[in-house]
Chains A and B, each alone.
Chain A
Amino acid sequence: DAGVIQSPRHEVTEMGQEVTLRCKPISGHNSLFWYRQTMMRGLELLIYFNNNVPIDDSGMPEDRFSAKMPNASFSTLKIQPSEPRDSAVYFCASKGSYNSPLHFGNGTRLTVT
């Protein structure tokens, strides 16, 4: 089991550019979560999916953020256009059965200059 895989590990981009973060959940897990970690707010839940369907996107900060899960093995988080305040570490996590813990990827560190 390779765990949750995120790419890229690091992304540096200029303000105004489009950024796409990618995630491959653990096979068989039916829930997927996108989190953002900042010093001030800790781990914030942005959006989560169940069986590829977005359930709650109330944590997405602005319309510039969007997420998709076209199939059970792939999800993307897109920021367009990016801004310096989007700089953070973005984590993807998946979980299987009810009451099972989240399994996190190693995150994507995004820097917007």
Chain B
Amino acid sequence: DQQVKQNSPSLSVQEGRISILNCDYTNSMFDYFLWYKKYPAEGPTFLISISSIKDKNEDGRFTVFLNKSAKHLSLHIVPSQPGDSAVYFCAAPRGGYQKVTFGIGTKLQVIP
């Protein structure tokens, strides 16, 4: 039961352009969402989050958009940099203990 889905396994973008990573979810009970970034041989690290009461959250070059009617969120990186090359996971916690479900990840490659 994959409640958080990332349908694009990989994405290549030129340096300086926009990267858009997408995530769909099925459970309307999620009340906030997170994006994590993972470099090889390291654990995922938190990048940005968004509450379900908002439709946009921005942090520097990173912006997350939430479309609740479509059950869809996206992460925009502008401008993309080679150091952004990593695997990006969207995630959503639910329940009182906040069981966190992750998508399968999207591997982003930013080409210099």
Contacts and interface: CB of A to CB of B under 8 A. Distances in A.
Interface residues of A, number: 24
The secondary-structure label for the interface of chain B is strand
B110 interface: no
Contacts of A61: none
Contacts, number: 55
The binding surface of chain A is classed by DSSP as: strand
Interface size bracket, B side:
20 to 34
Contacts of A56: 97, 99
B32 A93 contact: no
Nearest to A101: B46
Interface string B26-63: 00000010101000011111100100000000000000
Interface of A: 4, 31, 33, 35, 41-43, 45, 48, 50, 55-56, 91, 93, 95, 98-99, 101-107
Interface of B: 32, 34, 36, 41-46, 49, 89, 91, 93, 97-105
